[in-house]
Structure 1
Amino acid sequence: MQLDKLDAKILEELRLNARISNVELADKVGLSSSACARRIRAMEDAEVIRGYTVIRNTAVREGRRPVFIQIKLAEPTAESFTKFESAVRKCEEVRECFLVTGGADYLLRIEIEGLEEFEDVHSAVLSTLPGVSSILSSFTIRNVFSYL
């Protein structure tokens, strides 16, 4: 699906507020409400929009902090990627997982309350993932900004 400037405006407004009414959204992007609804439906059908969700801000509400973890696999083969990805999907502690370029194969984001919790996650989850040869963790100091 080719996206035009109106589609981009719709996506940006939905990113900022997915609960916006169709009438208000249509007004903001300069369309009729029926034309706006058709565009949204087309983007949903084409899976440009994959869904709508609530994003909990656990860092604010529960004193939790994100930790970013670089994972390097021992053997970067299709089979090891498949095994790792299958296993990491089952880890409720992992909030996001990205296949990346550079020195690591994957970048994970978890949220922890303190170092004791990180130690538990490291020993019970991260170090048990299949094919892992190295784990490098970066603890956040503060969130400068987030578009989520």
Structure 2
Amino acid sequence: MTLASTDARLDDYDRKILRELRRDGRISNQKLAERIGLSPTPCWNRVRALEKAGVITDYVAILDQRALGLPDTVIIEVTLDHHDDNMLERFGQALAALPEVMEAFLVTGEYDYLIKVAVAGTEGYERFLRTKLYKLPGIRHSRSTFALRCMKRVHSVEP
């Protein structure tokens, strides 16, 4: 059954659609329909149903950070002084406002946040730390790791 039905489970066609769109979000409906073995109208209806159901949340352009002058990725672990709701909210909002931050997670374990940042070398990273990250409220401790090479990068899970 398709997601458009009352069952709300993904069937094989839905999964094929999602895999193709995951590879190429700009694919035409005609080409998508050919690749998954449906005619264009049912294919279009399924895509719209997947969007309406929130399975497809957005379509984006993925930019090359190297071409933008930010070739290095740093993973930063941050511990906060306090863990009350207000502090977590303020820190999370401040992180989201920093353009260098590509991803930020509130996590369990030794650290409170895991942050993925794009920078231009160690000088760019030092500048990010001094002028942006360390100006945020509540940081007690941080630890950083430079990524040497990306082994895998996907932007959503495989359906």
What is the TM-score normalised by the length of structure 2?
Answer: 0.83
Worse-superposed segment, 99-108 or 18-27: 99-108
CA distance in 1, matches of 2:10, 2:59: 19
What are the within-5 Å matches in structure 2 for residues 10-25 of structure 1?
A: 10-25=17-32
SS at match of 2:66: helix
Equivalence for 1:102:
109
* Partner deviation per Cα, 1:68-122 (whole Å, 9 max, x = no partner): 1112222222222111111111111212212222222221111111111111100
SS at match of 2:32: helix
Aligned with residue 36 of structure 1, among 39, 43, 47: 43
Answer whether contact 1:59 1:66 (CA < 8 A) is retained.
no
What is the TM-score normalised by the length of structure 1?
Answer: 0.89
* Aligned positions, number: 148
Equivalence for 1:112:
119
Q: Which runs of 4+ in 1 moved over 3 A?
A: 60-63
- Is 1:48 the counterpart of 2:55? The answer is yes
Equivalence for 1:8:
15
Equivalence for 1:124:
131
CA distance in 2, matches of 1:63, 1:74: 30
- For 2:139, the aligned partner's letter is V
* Partner deviation per Cα, 1:8-53 (whole Å, 9 max, x = no partner): 2211111111111111111222222111111111121222212111
How far residue 140 of structure 1 moved from its aligned partner, in angstroms, is 0.9
- For 2:153, the aligned partner's letter is S
How far residue 2 of structure 1 moved from its aligned partner, in angstroms, is 3.1
CA distance in 1, matches of 2:78, 2:37: 45
The percent of aligned pairs where both chains have the same amino acid is 36
Gaps of 5+ in 2: 1-7
SS at match of 1:13: helix
Gaps of 5+ in 1: none
